[in-house]
Amino acid sequence: MKTSIPLDEFGRKESVMFFKDFYNPYVTVTCLLDASFCRAHAKNKGIKFFYAYLHAILRAVNDVEELHYRFDKDGNIVYYDVIDVLTPIRMPGLDHFVTVRFPYSKYIEVFLSDIEKKLAINNESSGYNTEASLEDFDVVLVSAIPNLPFTSISCTQRRLDGNDFPLISVGQLGSDGKMPVALSVHHGFVDGEHFAKFYELLQLYLNEE
């Protein structure tokens, strides 16, 4: 469900007004997280590591209120009660990635079941159809770079004034179990304390059975 919020009633009005005319109002933070337990647990359960940490990321996103705010296509502030995920997936028989939308569920069993259903019926031949056809921005984009142990990253922008939704990049899991996770989001909606909350929750969920 989407709720429109008049600017004058928005608690972060001053922040939004300050950053709205920036050429780049998005800020990106990269943190190293311990994903060793998540990888071991996923292996024991026969779950792909990518899907295991993807679910943890989506749980953390949905549990941080500030990551639910967006501008709609008319520039109005909106709040989405549920955030789904877009992610590039290499489909069998294709030599490129296809961006697939997976719905959020707090329960990983439901999340994995929905992934199987989506992949079974997804016949997109383009990697960009799903993103281009979005009517609302109730998503976060998560991209995996499993062969790159980056320490910082600069994300692409759709327009001079930023993107339509947050971007998350996940790098290579190191031999020490640490994995870089970068979050890029509009600074009008999100401050440092909200970044900290996201990473704190993400680490918690990566450590859960």
Strands lying side by side in the sheet with 178-186: 26-34, 178-186, 167-170, 139-144, 84-90, 97-102
| Residue 118: predicted pLDDT | 86
Nearest to 41 by CA among 23, 31, 29, 55: 55
Based on the structure, what is the number of domains in the chain? 1
How does pLDDT run across 88-98, given as a tens digit for each residue? 988 776 677 88
Domain-embedded: residue 15: no
Domain-embedded: residue 62: yes
Domain-embedded: residue 81: yes
| Residue 155: predicted pLDDT | 77
C-alpha distances (whole Å) from 25 to each of 35, 148, 158 are 30, 26, 12
What is the pTM for the complete model shown?
Answer: 0.94
167 vs 125: which has the higher pLDDT? 167
CATH number at residue 79: 3.30.559.10
Domain extent at residue 116: 2-7+23-206
Q: What is the pLDDT averaged over residues 131-159?
A: 87
Domain-embedded: residue 155: yes
Unique residue bearing structure tokens 């290579």: 172
Q: Look up residue 132 and give its two tokens.
A: 């281009």
Domain-embedded: residue 12: no
Nearest to 27 by CA among 204, 194, 172: 194
- Count of helices and strands (H, E) across the chain: 6, 9
Q: Is the separation of the CB atoms in 205 and 181 below 8 Å?
A: no
Q: Where are the alpha helices (DSSP H) in 26-80?
A: 36-45, 49-62
- Lowest-pLDDT range, 36-50, 151-165, 183-197? 151-165
From CA 10, how far away is CA 48, in angstroms rounded?
Answer: 40
How does pLDDT run across 47-68, given as a tens digit for each residue? 999 999 999 999 999 999 999 9
Does pLDDT of 149 surpass 90? yes
Domain-embedded: residue 98: yes
Domain-embedded: residue 16: no
Q: Is the separation of the CB atoms in 146 and 116 below 8 Å?
A: no
